[in-house]
Amino acid sequence: MFGVDDPDVAAAVRAYVKLMRASRAVLARVEPLLAAAGLTPTQLGVLEVLLHKGPMTQRELGRKVLTSAGNMTDVIDKLAARGLLRRVRDACDRRSVRVELTAEGQALIEELFPRHAADIARAMAGLDPAQLEALGALLRRLGMAAAQAGREKAPLATGGTPP
């Protein structure tokens, strides 16, 4: 299968393909609501994090929504241009800049997020609550293992050694 002789590698590839297909199917279900609000999934993620966690630096936001520093700057610039958030210098440390919601941004995310969460629930309705818990635990474990493996070895495409 896939020109792979190792059964463990073949199983990993099959699981990866299924993960990507499921992810794309769920995203296709929830993106129309975001598009109607003029938001990308990353922009929604930034607004949601600020709503639930409060003001934070761009670096902290980037870690929370899993995006690069360069992309985070672009996302914040676009949301700020729409008046949904603003950058504020820390009064105690003028070098530090925190990002916070504006009243308009807060109103938008408070109205949009419950509908977005309901869309996610509908998209994932093929699993019962116990299965969703199990899936969440497995995906967390997978994410942590993948992150650890990434720190231990260079990717094959850049000259790392195969497992």
Residue 134 has pLDDT above 80, yes or no: yes
Domain boundaries, the chain: 7-152
pLDDT at position 163, please? 46
Residues 6+ apart with CB under 8 A from 104: 83, 84
Give pLDDT, residue 96. Answer: 83
d(CA 30, CA 32): 6
pLDDT on residue 157: 53
Edge-to-edge strands, sheet with 56-57 = 56-57, 97-101, 85-89
The torsion of the CA quartet 41, 44, 48, 50, rounded to 10 degrees, works out to 120
Residues 75-87: pLDDT tens digits? 999 999 999 999 9
Sequence-separated (6 or more) residues with CB below 8 Å from residue 75: 40, 42, 43, 46, 67
Q: What pLDDT does 25 receive?
A: 94
Q: Which helix (H) or strand (E) holds 85?
A: strand 85-89
**What three-state secondary structure class fits 109?**
helix
Instruction: Classify domain 7-152 by CATH architecture.
Output: Orthogonal Bundle (1.10)
C-alpha 127: how far from chain center: 21
Tens digit of each residue's pLDDT (9 = 90 or more) over 51-83: 999 999 998 999 999 888 889 999 999 999 999
Residue 161 banded pLDDT, cuts 50, 70, 90? very low
Question: Residue range 46-55: average pLDDT?
Answer: 96
The proportion of the chain whose per-residue pLDDT surpasses 90, expressed as a percent, equals 72
What is the Cα–Cα distance from 19 to 9, expressed in whole angstroms? 15
